[in-house]
Structure 1
């Protein structure tokens, strides 16, 4: 994980640029299913239901 964060920093790729959809933690299974099926791009799981 540290290596990934280092590369994102060096490449100036903030997660908000890379992540195409965000899902609250309660919808994690939906997010993973969509990403796995190829229907969604890069998904992010957020802890706060209000994010």
Structure 2
């Protein structure tokens, strides 16, 4: 399952930290943060 979230970050470094933390979360298959659009796409593992 994939979901897109609106996020509020002030800098690209913060966006990168958010992406890495989300990727390291149990149940998350992949995460991509787009700093320009302020959106984060998360793909969750099945089950």
Asked if Structure 1 and Structure 2 have the same fold, meaning a TM-score greater than 0.5 normalized by the shorter chain, the answer is no
**Normalised by the size of structure 1, how large is the TM-score?**
0.31
**Normalised by the size of structure 2, how large is the TM-score?**
0.32
Q: Give 1 or 2 for the bigger CA radius of gyration.
A: 1
Structure ranking higher in helix proportion = 1
